[in-house]
Amino acid sequence: MSAALFIDILLWGSVIGVGLIAFRRGRPVFVASLREGAMDFVNIVPRIALGVIGSGYIAAIIPQEVITGWLGPDSGWLGVTAAVVAGAATPGGPVIGFSIGAVALKSGGGVPQVVAYVVAWALFAFQRVILWEIPFMPARFVWFRCAVSVPFPFLAAAIAAVIGKP
């Protein structure tokens, strides 16, 4: 996929860019940060392995239809709340999250509800929070960030309801 390649090039380009800056600050700085990054990598890999390799099983036992059902044409704030919970509870990666959103949109789900779902999934998908965010960030930050983000799927749904369909 060319988008993935594009992102890889940008990613490694950035690494090389900041690496060069570090190198120009002197060899010790460069070597120290190289070692630091490598240690982070070694420490994080077991957890990432568990999550990525295990996520297929989690996704396989939570059928997408269950979550799509929560996004039905049931309008109103109750529907939005259900969509937010569904977004947080969706297992697996972006393919699953967006596919559920797309299915809901096609099968008559309300637009504010689908927006609330996609935004809530982006903010809270439990698997990403547990597998990626907590291993890398201070746990206190992660919980704080999640708590503070709670109003925003609702706000997004409200904006969507006001400005109308795409």
Partner 1 sequence: MSDPSPKNPAEDTESEPRPGRARKPIGWSTIFIAVLVAVSAALVWRRDGTDGVLDILTHDLSLFSGILPRVLAGCLLGAFISEILPHEKVSRSLGPKSGLMGLLIGTAFGAILPGGPFTVYPVGSALLAVGADFGAVIAMVVSWTLIGYGRAVAWEIPIMGTDFTLWRILISLPLPVLAGALGRFVYVRLYRKLPTKDDET
Instruction: State the nearest-atom distance from the C-beta of 88 to partner 1, in Å.
Output: 13
Query: What would the two tokens of residue 121 be?
Result: 């999934």
Binding residue for partner 1, selected from 73, 107, 137, 143, defined by CB under 8 A: 137
Instruction: State the nearest-atom distance from the C-beta of 140 to partner 1, in Å.
Output: 9
Instruction: State the nearest-atom distance from the C-beta of 71 to partner 1, in Å.
Output: 13
Asked if residue 66 binds partner 1 (CB under 8 A), the reply is no
Residue written as tokens 């903010």? 123
CA–CA distance, 141 with 122 (Å, rounded to integer):
17
Asked if residue 81 binds partner 1 (CB under 8 A), the reply is no
Asked if residue 152 binds partner 1 (CB under 8 A), the reply is yes
State whether residue 32 is helix, strand or coil: helix
State whether residue 144 is helix, strand or coil: helix
Say what angle helices 94-106 and 111-124 make with each other, to 10 degrees: 170
Binding residue for partner 1, selected from 27, 50, 67, 70, defined by CB under 8 A: 50
